[in-house]
Copies of this chain bind each other. A is one copy, B any other.
Amino acid sequence: MSSDNQTKKTGNIRVKSQVKILSAARTEFVLQGYRGATVQSIADRAELPKANILYYFKNKENIYHAVLENTLEMWDQGIGDIVPDEGPKIAIEKFIAAKVRMSFNHPEASKIYAMEIIQGAQHLKDYARTYQRQWVREKAKLFQHWIDNGEMVNVDPVHLIFLIWSATQHYADFDTQILTIMNQADFEEHDVEQVIAFLSDIILRGCGLI
């Protein structure tokens, strides 16, 4: 029993420390880039000695891989899906709303991903080549089906997906620029709803769904 307790306690410290480290690392990687984020700066932000960071993750590259995996998993779960059941209008509306909400709630996740792609997707090539390509093809087929059925106008389904991705993620990746232009310190709930309404409106009309 005492051994069980100790194991649990130890496991807890392990998990808690790892969560703290990953959170600190994510922020540092966003702010400074992979090379600019030092193990020391991650340690300082996590409020742990540098050696502990390397005790848990062995080296800096492992920290980054863990952050990347962690981030992709969270992002994939949050953005929902495009499903055939309710027709194109509801499907696109729901997808836009989910992606906009994710962008406003987890900008760092989108930024980590964006920086990875911009720099050449060295750690994500397989991800795009297998999982993502498959997803896009599946959804493109669904859009094409709706187009052939006369349920929406004839727009390129693949580029439509790119449009929704870019327009929604923009509010995460470029938040600094957008806030400066809008002359605000932070986004508020009302901004999120306004963006969802704007993008749904213009994209649905663009697809002949309004």
Residue ranges of A at the interface with B (Cβ–Cβ < 8 Å)? 30-36, 111, 114-115, 117-121, 124-125, 128-129, 132-133, 136, 153, 155-156, 158-160, 162-163, 165-167, 169-171, 173-174, 176-178, 180-183, 194-195, 198-199, 201-203, 205-208
A127-B111 Cα distance, complex, nearest whole Å: 21
Query: Which residues of chain B are within 8 angstroms of A174 by Cβ–Cβ distance?
Result: 114, 117-118, 162, 166
Inter-subunit contact A180/B121 (CB<8 Å) = yes
How many copies the complex holds: the figure is 2
A123 to chain B, nearest CB (A): 12
Our pick among B31, B32, B128, B205 for the contact of A205 (Cβ within 8 Å) is: B205
Residues of B within 8 A of A169 (CB): 166
Closest 8 CB pairs of A and B: A35-B36, A33-B33, A166-B170, A206-B206, A202-B206, A35-B35, A128-B180, A159-B198
